């Protein structure tokens, strides 16, 4: 009986290994296709051996845009920055593990279960900005990118002339983020579930996720085709995103007591229909924690204000720049 049980266990283990290996092959092929279709739109600068994708357009004072979870530079370059390049040098960066930016050393591989903190991401972005000659900028952070923008403002205050938060994650929340984030951020899930999702996630799933992110608005025409969702579905990017989001809360808790030290002129823009990063949990308290912060609430707008109400967002950016003496 023991021999039979052992044999069955070996068969099951072999089948699991074969299945995971097969998923890995399909996932790598799918990732290669995505990378061919969605190459870097800017330059990849070397920051201590870590490649950071930086897209630059326009002339004027520097404006840095930091994307949210599951995103990349294309969320901004798809259409939004066209409304800013006439008066700013717009610098858009991919965060670690997403788009065309590498993960930081020590965080790579299917069995890794650790994530780059907002502070580590901010330090990487600051170093990348040095490479492109940016010393002082208005910094915009969307969603998870808001936490990175806050870390950049707190840890590198001389670099941030003004701060703009777009539906930004900034304050502690109750509850967890769900099973999928927990599984995908774990070592076992990262090695097994992530390759399967990467290999076989259907287009309909991607469309559903994008629809949920934009709700109650619809995505802009051509957004899904242009955003490079296949880049996000690469195994390393899926792992990076899950680990960063799942590990964010303690870093937020650590940053909150420091918000009162922020002196950069701060503009906060948030929709009151945002169910992903709720207004009442994040931006309302943040507007009271940062001295002089100005909160603009967009009625009926969800989690993507820069697409739903781009004029309101560019107005907030211009206000921050003027308050900072950049315009």
Domain count, the chain: 1
The answer to whether residues 125 and 51 touch, using CB atoms and an 8 Å cutoff, is: no
Structural domain containing residue 241: 36-323
Domain membership flag for residue 151? yes
pLDDT at 177 over 70: yes
Look up the CATH number of the domain holding residue 217.
3.40.50.1820
- The H or E element containing residue 266 is strand 266-271
pLDDT for residue 193: 85
Domain membership flag for residue 183? yes
Domain membership flag for residue 20? no
pLDDT at 179 over 80: no
Domain membership flag for residue 95? yes
Domain membership flag for residue 11? no
- The H or E element containing residue 195 is helix 187-200
* CA separation for the pair 224, 206 (Å, rounded): 8
Q: Which two tokens stand for residue 264?
A: 């950069």
Domain membership flag for residue 26? no
Distances (CA, A) of 280 to 174, 285, 297: 12, 7, 11
- Mean of the pLDDT values across residues 119-146? 98
* CA separation for the pair 97, 198 (Å, rounded): 15
Domain membership flag for residue 288? yes
pLDDT at 9 over 50: no
Q: What is the pTM of this model?
A: 0.91
**Average pLDDT of the chain?**
90
CB atoms within 10 A of CB 142: 30
Summarize pLDDT for 40-98 with one digit per residue, the tens: 999 999 999 999 999 999 999 999 999 999 999 999 998 899 999 999 999 999 999 99
**DSSP state for residue 113 in the 8-state scheme:** -
Domain membership flag for residue 99? yes
Angle (nearest 5°) at CA 89 between 86 and 91: 130
pLDDT for residue 206: 83
């Amino acid at each position: 009986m023991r021999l039979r049980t052992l044999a069955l266990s070996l068969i099951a283990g072999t089948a699991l290994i074969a299945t995971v290996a097969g998923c890995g092959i399909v996932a790598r092929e799918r990732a290669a296709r995505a990378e061919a279709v969605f190459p870097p739109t800017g330059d990849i600068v070397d920051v201590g051996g870590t490649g950071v994708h930086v897209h630059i357009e326009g002339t004027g004072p520097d404006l840095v845009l930091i994307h949210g979870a599951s995103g990349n530079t294309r969320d901004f370059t798809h259409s939004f920055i066209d409304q800013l390049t006439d008066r700013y040098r717009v610098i858009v960066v991919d965060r670690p593990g997403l788009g065309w930016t590498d993960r930081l050393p020590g965080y790579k591989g299917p069995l890794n279960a650790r994530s780059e903190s907002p502070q580590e991401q901010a330090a990487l972005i600051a170093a990348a900005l040095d490479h492109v000659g940016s010393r002082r900028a208005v910094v915009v952070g969307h969603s998870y990118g808001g936490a990175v923008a806050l870390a950049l403002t707190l840890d590198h205050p001389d670099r941030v002339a003004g701060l703009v938060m777009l539906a930004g994650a900034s304050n502690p929340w109750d509850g967890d983020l769900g099973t999928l984030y927990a599984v995908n951020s774990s070592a076992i899930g990262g090695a097994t579930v992530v390759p399967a999702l990467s290999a076989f996630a259907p287009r309909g799933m991607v469309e559903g996720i994008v629809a949920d992110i934009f709700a109650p608005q619809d995505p802009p025409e051509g957004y899904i085709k242009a955003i490079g969702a296949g880049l996000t579905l690469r195994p390393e990017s899926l792992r990076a995103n899950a680990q960063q989001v799942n590990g964010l809360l303690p870093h937020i808790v650590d940053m909150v007591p420091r918000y009162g030290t922020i002196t950069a002129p701060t503009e906060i823009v948030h929709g009151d229909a945002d169910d992903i990063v709720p207004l009442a949990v994040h931006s309302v308290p943040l507007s009271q924690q940062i001295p002089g912060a100005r909160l603009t609430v967009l009625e009926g707008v969800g989690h993507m204000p820069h697409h739903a109400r781009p004029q309101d967002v560019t107005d907030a950016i211009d206000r921050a720049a003027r308050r900072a003496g950049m315009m």
